[in-house]
Structure 1
Amino acid sequence: MNFKTVLDKVDIFQIVGDCADALGMDTYVVGGYVRDIVLGRPSKDIDFVCLGDGIKLAKKVAGKFGPHVPVSIFKNFGTAMIKIDDWEVEFVGARKESYRHDSRKPTVEAGTLQEDQERRDFTINALAIGVNHSNLGVLVDPFDGLKDMKRKIIRTPTDPDITFSDDPLRMLRAVRFAAQLGFDIEPRTFDGIMNNAGRLSIISGERIIDELNKIIMTNKPSYGFKLLFVSGLLAEFFPEMVALQGVDSVGDKSHKDNFYHTLQVLDNVAAVSDDLWLRWAAIMHDIAKPATKRFNKKVGWTFHGHEDKGARMTPGIFRRLKLPMDDRMKYVQKLVKLHLRPIALVNDKVTDSALRRLLFEAGDDIEDLLKLCRADVTSKNDTKVKRFLANFDKVERKLQEVEEKDQVRNFQPPVSGDEIMAIFELKPSKIVGDLKEEIKEAIMEGHIQNNKSEALELMYKLAAKKGLSKKKTINK
């Protein structure tokens, strides 16, 4: 590859080269941008390493773009960053690092280009290309990162045990890069991860979940999870998922391996949706199966109530993993709780009432729930899979028919609590809640239509039975 030709196409490299020459600094573009050039991946983040003061170089480059281009300076790290259009450009002086055993934050001192490359996590991120006019486009690749890219290998530039012990987050990054790029982790490097998995305990939950979410958002997230599982990393921060693995047998009765089933469901969801939280619902949908597993001599292994217990487990797991405790958690919790409901509606004898209740509980998330349910159909028997998916087609048609007729997906009571209190001159009380609930139940059961007129008529009948008399009239 002619790197000079590639760099010539982007003005920033010409400008940085001019500024570096003016300051007498050898300067190189390094890391992810170089990797992505080779892999043909788009990138708008550029890192420059110079043999000198990176902040000084950043200021000079910013000045070339005008007096009002701000320079963000991070003195503790000796780095500076400028934004130019949609580019994020970072500058740092070449450095070497040393670590304390109880921290991933290094002690930094000035170093050579090779020392700077040695401190990088993987060979594919340790390439450098010169940007000075004397060495423009010259590749510096002391660890054969280019060859590793061609072989599709993730490998550390130096001893993996030292690399991962110094900064254990790199173990998750190894898995993430392997999952994103479809690469293998070189055996010695993978052994280093297994040897140091326990070191993940010094990494913050926020850092861990950031890497995990990137793995979840890959095209085939099961690959990353298998690497996390086999390496021992997953057990360090997500033991509930590890507990899904394994098959128990009594006589000729066995259950499926719920870990690998969950990964298949996750891949199935990933094939139809880029929604991170729908993917999390796939991860969590069977999370309570180990806790609800029972053996029955007649039917074999059962997991009764795993959907309800899984929903109850969701807030605690989200809190511990530093996931958001907001509507996104509630969305995942809802889908976990409801994920068995649609398949129960396949029976031709199912009532409209059951369909209304599912629409009411799922609300606007009904389509996502059905995506999860379809993804949950995993079997090596293609005929069985096709039959189950055809059943879901039937359920979707039934739900659509009921929704068009009754409009209960985002149910709002036709008569509000405030109206009930005004009509009967009541204060907030149990009887107001009871009237609202009985009206809702009548609509769910199909005894009345979902409209104000019929709701008011029923309300007056119910109120009379409770000894309430109308004080005010309300227009229907």
Structure 2
Amino acid sequence: MNLKSNLDNPIFKVVSEAGEELGIDVYVVGGFVRDILLKRPSKDIDFVTVGSGIELAQKVAEKINEKQVSIFKNFGTANIKSKGFDLEFVGARKESYNRNSRKPVVENGTLQDDQNRRDFTINAMAISLNKANYGELIDPFEGQKDLKRKVMRTPLQPEITFSDDPLRMMRAIRFATQLQFDIEPDTYEGIVQNIDRIEIVSMERVSDELNKIILSNKPSYGFKLLFHSGLLKKIFPEMVDLHGVETIDGKSHKDNFYHTLQVLDNVCEKSNYLWLRWAAILHDIAKPPTKRFDPKVGWTFHGHEDKGARMVPGIFKKLKLPLNEKMHYVKKLVRLHLRPIALVKDDITDTAIRRLLFEAGNDIDDLMKLCRADITSKNDIKVQKYLSNFKKVERKMKEVEEKDQVRNFQPPVSGEEIMNAFNIAPGRIIGEIKEAIKEAILEGEIQNNRAEALELMYKLAKTKGLDKVSGNN
């Protein structure tokens, strides 16, 4: 097969000419070739040369008048960013592995050696950029057939591929999820047989692949593959603990693992935000440790939202996820995910609405997306009832927010103003006055404005024995 007509980007001609001038063979390899055949756009282009990838990159940069070339001598690779494309250059190589490391011993090799070391057949195809056969597809492992069959398969024996570089097990599941492909039986069995090998891979690399699965259109597919292969137990046992149904006196609870996957897929239909998707994954993570059976009411999970929120930092730390505002965002949504549905009652007070708006802040809209996604009943009447209830809550929130503006609450009176008004040094009393003003606003005792806040400040100060400083208002 010749794919010359697909090489319409001028960079391919430039690389071809550079290779010819250097007297080396040059090929496009990997994901870009796969994506051409899948008719998917791609901005990452990998070039392999039977020679020096660094020299080829420098020659290409010279020809396109690009000053910036990133060179990685230890790996024999170079990178050029040009016109929105990420161009990677490497010399063809063959690899051998030590059992205790996924870092290979690398030697110069042929194109065939380079294709042999690729992870999957669909990523092991190459297109020649050489004058004699420009555009010709080189497909030694029938990757094109596997694309048509929609299967993931390793070029060599799966046991060798996955034992050598166990991260490839995560990549197999990630590609299967992103492309909605099956994993060929022998390849899948190779994953099952090598799950213990994932322990030599850094958690950062594992989590990077996990996040790519989570960012796919239907991440539940990837999580099911991780679960059934045994990999999920190795990397994220807390999620596996959600699996299973227990029955006592004929009363059962739902399988919280599959419920979580449904919530995750539901969120994915409304948002591409990775950390909202993580909130969906973790919203019920504390159900196993909070599970109790009450003969009168059946199964309960009291406090799972609070305990779940407390579990979030530990899980993020173990998975090497960021321990910054992203983690605090997930923690907040896990803690609050039951609150909106509790506000459905007709007699609910504005105070309760204000407190939710205050605690959720700018994340209230994401919280409502999570709450809607949490409705996984197969009973359509029940689903419609819950959705109608959420609309009622949102109407109440809009009314209260327009009136009281507490979503992005800022104290009408600052600590510095309190100190100046009474000529006092920083101390506990400042925080007590600020907290009392905030509580009065949230309780609806005063309006969220400066005049009423100042009036209350002076009243509070009087009860604490503070005198107004002359000249301050």
User: Which bin holds the TM-score, normalised by the shorter protein?
Assistant: over 0.9
Look up the match of 1:114: 112
Q: 1:287 aligns with which of 281, 285, 288?
A: 285
Q: How much does 1:129 deviate? A: 1.1
State the shift of 1:2 in Å. 4.3
Whether the 8 Å CA contact 1:282–1:372 is kept in 2: the answer is yes
For the pair 1:270 / 2:268, whether they are aligned, the reply is: yes
- How far off its partner does 1:56 sit? 2.2
TM-score normalised according to structure 1 size? 0.97
| Structure 1 CA distance for aligned equivalents of residues 433 and 129 of structure 2 | 76
How far 1:275 moved relative to its partner?
A: 0.7
Mapped to 1, the partners of 2:364 and 2:323 lie a distance apart of: 22
| Aligned residue in 1 for 2:32 | 33
Shift of 1:62: 2.0
CA distance in 1 between counterparts of 2:432 and 2:327 reads 30
Instruction: Name the residue aligned to 1:233.
Output: 231
- Provide closer, same or farther for how the CA distance between residues 84 and 432 of structure 1 changes in structure 2, counting only shifts above 3 A: closer
The aligned amino acid for 1:3 is: L
Q: 1:465, CA displacement in angstroms?
A: 2.8
SS, match of residue 333 in structure 2 = helix
- Give, in whole Å, the separation in 2 of the partners of 1:104 and 1:362: 43
Instruction: Determine the structure 2 residue equivalent to 1:214.
Output: 212
Q: Hey, what does 2:58 align to over in structure 1?
A: 59
Letter in 2 for 1:89: L
Q: Separation in 2 of the partners of 1:228 and 1:150?
A: 24
CA drift at 1:28 = 1.4
Check whether the contact 2:96–2:104 (CA below 8 A) recurs between aligned residues: yes
**Partners of 1:262 and 1:17 in 2: how far apart?**
50
Does the residue aligned with 2:101 lie in a helix, a strand or coil? coil
The secondary structure found in structure 1 opposite 2:132 is coil
Secondary structure of the corresponding residue to residue 99 of structure 2: coil
1:372 Cα shift? 0.7
Asked if the contact 1:17–1:133 (Cα under 8 Å) also holds between the matched residues in 2, the reply is: yes
Query: 1:16 aligns to what?
Result: 15
From the superposition, tell whether residues 472 and 304 of structure 1 become closer, same or farther in structure 2 (CA, over 3 Å).
farther
Q: CA deviation at 1:448?
A: 1.3
Amino acid across the alignment from 2:6 = V
Equivalent position of 1:132 in the other structure: 130
8 A contact 1:69–1:82 mirrored in 2:
no
Amino acid in the other structure paired with 1:31: G
Deviation of the 1:474 alpha carbon: 4.4
Encode CA deviations 1:379-412: one digit per residue, 9 max, x unaligned.
Answer: 1111111110110000000000001111111112
> Do the aligned residues in 2 keep the contact of 1:422 with 1:472 (CA within 8 Å)?
no
- Choose from 150, 153, 157 the match for 2:151: 153
* Matches of 2:383 and 2:285, distance apart in 1: 22
- Residue deviations 1:122-149, cap 9 Å, x none? 0000001111110111111111100000
Identify the match of residue 382 of structure 2 among 384, 397, 401. 384
- Whether contact under 8 Å (1:95, 1:115) holds in the other structure is yes
Q: For residues 260 and 175 of structure 1, what CA distance do their matches in structure 2 show?
A: 18
1:111-132 CA-to-partner distances (Å, cap 9, x unmatched) read: 2222211110000000011111
Paired residues of 2:2 and 2:137 also in contact (CA < 8 A): no
In structure 1, C-alpha distance between the alignment counterparts of 2:100 and 2:162, rounded to whole Å: 13
1:60, CA displacement in angstroms? 2.0
Q: Is the 8 Å Cα contact of residues 280 and 332 (structure 1) preserved in structure 2?
A: yes
Q: What is the CA-CA distance between 1:473 and the residue it aligns to?
A: 5.4
| CA distance in structure 2 between the partners assigned to 1:474 and 1:402 by the alignment | 33
Whole-Å Cα distance in 1 between the matches of residues 435 and 444 of structure 2? 14
- Name the counterpart of 2:333: 335
What secondary structure sits across from 1:89 in the alignment?
strand
SS of the residue corresponding to residue 133 of structure 2 reads coil
What letter matches 2:77 in structure 1? T
CA distance in 1, matches of 2:79, 2:350: 60
1:171-182 matches, cutoff 5 A? 171-182=169-180
Query: Counterpart of 2:191?
Result: 193
TM-score normalized by the length of structure 2: 0.97
Distance 1:472 1:329, change over 3 A: farther
In the TM superposition, residue 85 of structure 1 has moved relative to its aligned partner by 2.0
1:373 aligns with 2:375: no
Corresponding letter in the other structure for 2:25? D
Provide the alpha-carbon RMSD of the alignment: 1.4
Q: What is the aligned partner in structure 2 of residue 260 from structure 1? A: 258
Bigger drift between 444-453 and 394-403 goes to 444-453
* Superposition deviation, residue 247 in structure 1: 0.8
Question: Do the aligned residues in 2 keep the contact of 1:78 with 1:93 (CA within 8 Å)?
Answer: yes
Equivalence for 2:423: 425
Deviations 1:92-126 (A, max 9, x none): 22211100001111111122222211110000000
Unaligned runs of 5+ in 2: none
Moved over 6 A (4+): none
1:470 paired residue number: 468
Alpha-carbon distance in structure 1 between the residues aligned to 2:189 and 2:428: 63
Partner SS, residue 134 of structure 1: helix
Instruction: For 1:249, give the aligned amino acid.
Output: T
CA distance in 1, matches of 2:14, 2:461: 80
Are the equivalent residues in 1 in contact too, given 2:72–2:78 (CA < 8 A)? yes
Q: Deviations over 1:261-316 (max 9, x none)?
A: 11111111110011111111111111111111111111111111111111111111
Change (3 A) 1:429 1:50: closer
Specify the alignment match of 2:446 in structure 1: 448
1:94 match: 92
Match of 1:5 in 2: 5
The residue aligned with 1:358 is 356
Residue aligning to 2:121: 123
CA–CA distance in 2 between the matches of 1:105 and 1:441? 57
For structure 1, list consecutive stretches of 5 or more residues without a partner in the other structure. Answer: none
Matched residues in 2 for 1:258 and 1:310: separation? Answer: 14
Q: Summarize the Cα distance change of 1:473–1:354 in structure 2 as closer, same or farther, 3 Å threshold.
A: farther
Whether the 8 Å CA contact 1:28–1:128 is kept in 2: the answer is yes
Q: Which residue of the partner structure matches residue 408 of structure 2?
A: 410
Distance 1:423 1:45 in 2: 61
Aligned sequence identity (%): 68
